[in-house]
Amino acid sequence: MKRRLIPICLLLCGGLLWLSAIGQQDTKAVSATVSDFSRNWLPSRGAPAGLHYVGAAVCASCHVFEAAELKTPMGEASLLPAQNKVLNHQPRLSARNGADIYRLARLSNGDEIYSVTAGGQTAQATLQWAFGLGYAGQTYLYQAQHIWHESRVSYFKQIHGLDTTIGYSPRPPRNLHAALGRRMGQDEARACFVCHTTGAVRTGQFLPAQATPGVTCEQCHGPGSAHVAAMRAHRYAQPQIFNPAQLSPGRQADFCGNCHRTLMMVMQMGVSGILDVRFQPYRLSLSKCYNPSDARITCLACHDPHHALVKKISWYDDKCLACHIHRGQKTSWQMPGQACPVAQRRCVSCHMPKLALPGAHHLFSDHYIRIVKPGAAYPD
């Protein structure tokens, strides 16, 4: 089957709400809904009937340590125009793509205007969302005739400027509006909002106007109304909240992979080659040491989503040595990993190389853990 490349976005709780709404419904039906939700939550399904989002401020009032997540790149995975830090520092950006000139500007009223000028004509749109904090890049969404569109250019931190959004064809656009951006299907727009915002899907409906910017507490743990009610009633044995950390290792990787991409999703998308280096769960599953039954090699074994990514290479050594023996030791069922003959520190610098994705202006750590041979082709 021939694979085809499709454009995709670059990357990748206030006061209590009306808990009395639960009491207005059939108690048994609501209990069954809450029970199922607390075991099988997926952000793409959205809040089931009878459950409500309470907002990150409510979560943070008890979970102070975990609330640091709100200031991480994941917590700021999307921004409204007034929050966009990129344009705080650079209120006007421009770039040329062939004969076309792209501009991004923040007006005095706070609106962000995105435009392209080609052949003496200009098309423009008022931006509604910025997807990505700008740590690596940032892509923009706007609506035309009530249909979501993705900007043809994105901001890239490494060049401190605009360049073509990853996934766009190098061929010249067919008209002025195509030069401005690409029309997104309803399912694609929904998927983008699910992975970059919180609460965009409710009772199965795609409601982007109700989305909260960023991946906050309830996007991974589910709507918190039942949890708040349970805690206020001191029902600690039944917290009524979803906790990804309690999933089996394989299911945990699939849960994270709902946004960061699993093997099945990569195959369905038709993405191959270096473009899939961004998809960490998929790459991790290719590793010889990956075991869907071993909690030592999961996303959460190395990364705490409530805190910013640890960039110090040596910090990850203990993670590798949780399975790999030191020199002179013998392997066992508990420690099946051979000792590295080269070094026992800075493991990821060799076995998880940073690779340049063409057009991304950023280096990505390849999560396919392996012995990397100089000059070898990218292993897909």
User: 51-94: per-residue pLDDT in tens?
Assistant: 999 999 999 999 999 999 999 999 999 999 888 889 888 899 99
40: tokens are 């099988």
Task: Look at residue 17 and tell me whether its pLDDT is greater than 70.
Answer: no
Task: Look at residue 29 and tell me whether its pLDDT is greater than 80.
Answer: no
36: tokens are 């199922």
Q: Can you give the residue ranges of every domain in the chain?
A: 20-75+191-242, 78-183, 246-365
Distance CA 47, CA 31 (A): 14
For residue 27, what pLDDT band results from cuts at 50, 70 and 90?
very low
Report the predicted TM-score, pTM, of the whole model to 2 decimal places.
0.88
State residue 33's pLDDT score: 63
Task: Look at residue 11 and tell me whether its pLDDT is greater than 50.
Answer: no
Task: Calculate the average pLDDT of the chain.
Answer: 89
Could you read off the pLDDT of 230-277 as tens digits, one per residue? 999 999 999 999 999 999 999 999 999 999 999 999 999 888 999 999
For residue 50, what pLDDT band results from cuts at 50, 70 and 90?
confident
Average pLDDT rounded to a whole number, residues 278-296: 96
For 12-54, give the DSSP string: -------THHHHTS-HHHHHHHHHHHHHH--GGG-BPTT----
Please provide the distance, in angstroms rounded to a whole number, between the alpha carbons at the two ends of the chain. Answer: 16
Task: Look at residue 360 and tell me whether its pLDDT is greater than 70.
Answer: yes
φ/ψ of residue 47, rounded to 5? -65, 125
For residue 315, what pLDDT band results from cuts at 50, 70 and 90?
very high
Distance CA 361, CA 98 (A): 19
